[in-house]
Amino acid sequence: MTTRAGFVALIGEPNAGKSTLTNRMVGAKVSIVTHKVQTTRARIRGVAIEGDTQIVFVDTPGLFTPRRRLDRAMVKAAWGGAADADITVLLVEAHRGLTAGVQRILDGLADLPKGLRVALAINKIDRVAAKALLALSQKLNDAYPFEKTFMISAEKGHGVADLRAWLAAALPEGPWLYPEDQIADLPLRMIAAEMTREKLTLRLHQELPYQLTVETEAWEERPDGSARIDQVVYVSRAGHKGIVLGNKGETIKAISKAAREELVEFLGRKIHLFLQVKVREKWQDEAERYSEMGLDFRDGNA
């Protein structure tokens, strides 16, 4: 039997639906999704199987004009994902079209190694009328020579099977890259931290989600089959700590409950989750915080 395997990087503006598509392709939630921009911070690999092919999807942070060190490290990680992949898929939101941000990404694609294979996926087609799609597809293909164009809804699933089948056939022959039953290559402690960060992002307003990070400090297996997970939420200001905790601690309690429920579902066993909020003004300047997130601190150098 000949097998195929390779990496497919998903790139696009923040909120284009990269993580939603990754999860749909994998058939499980390996990457967190929210309605807010810049939810994904590092490259997350999710593994899908299509016939004899193992497709490793590389979900990346959004591509945007970075301002902070953390932003620069995220954008660098996203471009690195594309440069290392066999095929790159650019996701563009159907209702937003060829924005200035998308144009900047198209310009950036030209700087990648020659011979890179790039396909276009116009996502969120559930949000526009079908007749608008052809014109948009034409416009984008005039702007960049995509190898192939797909119209999809990552959320509803339209067109996703076609995209997956095409990717599988386009990947090179070779042995599978991960064991058959592996769906993600993030360490569990990091997945657990991401789940908590998702709940924080959903619950907290405005800038706050961008000003915090979550780390799993301890993971203790218990004889009864359950696990105790201790996590720290780092915030950059004392005022933020109060907001995260909430009145009588009710905000952090609700976040902890939601994160724990998701962990139980993901891990299939009883979980005891303990969250602690710490003020760390300079966490965005600490190399260790970046490695915990799966980012390279030096990538943030201006």
Site residues (CB under 5 A) for Mg ion? 18-19, 39-40
Q: Which stretch binds ligand GDP (CB under 6 A): 16-24, 80-88, 174-182, 240-248?
A: 16-24
For position 63 contacting ligand GDP by CB under 6 A, the verdict is no
Is 23 known as a binding-site position? Answer: no
Is 14 known as a binding-site position? Answer: yes
Q: Which does 216 bind (CB under 5 to 8 A by kind): Mg ion, ligand GDP, none?
A: none
CA distance 299 to 192: 24
Q: Which does 81 bind (CB under 5 to 8 A by kind): Mg ion, ligand GDP, none?
A: none
Instruction: Give the number of residues written for the chain.
Output: 302
Non-local (6+) Cβ contacts of 223 within 8 A are none
Contact 299/76 with Cβ under 8 angstroms? yes
The number of residues that bind ligand GDP (CB under 6 A) is: 22
For position 126 contacting ligand GDP by CB under 6 A, the verdict is yes
Where is 222: in which H helix or E strand?
none
Q: Which is nearer to ligand GDP, 46 or 277 (CB)?
A: 46
Is 209 known as a binding-site position? Answer: no
CA distance 31 to 44: 7
**Block residue for tokens 């780092």:** 234
Q: Which stretch binds ligand GDP (CB under 6 A): 32-40, 203-211, 236-244, 278-286?
A: 32-40
For position 28 contacting ligand GDP by CB under 6 A, the verdict is no
For position 62 contacting ligand GDP by CB under 6 A, the verdict is yes
Contact 250/242 with Cβ under 8 angstroms? no
DSSP codes of every residue in 265-276: HHHTS-EEEEEE
Of 265, 266, 193, nearest in space to 229 by CA: 193
Q: What angle is formed at CA 112 by the lines to CA 109 and CA 115, rounded to 5 degrees?
A: 100
In whole angstroms, the minimum distance from the beta carbon of 172 to Mg ion comes to 27
Q: Which does 246 bind (CB under 5 to 8 A by kind): Mg ion, ligand GDP, none?
A: none
Which residues contribute to the annotated binding site for GTP? 12-19, 59-63, 123-126
Contact residues for ligand GDP (CB under 6 A)? 12, 14-20, 33-35, 39-40, 62, 123-124, 126-127, 153-156
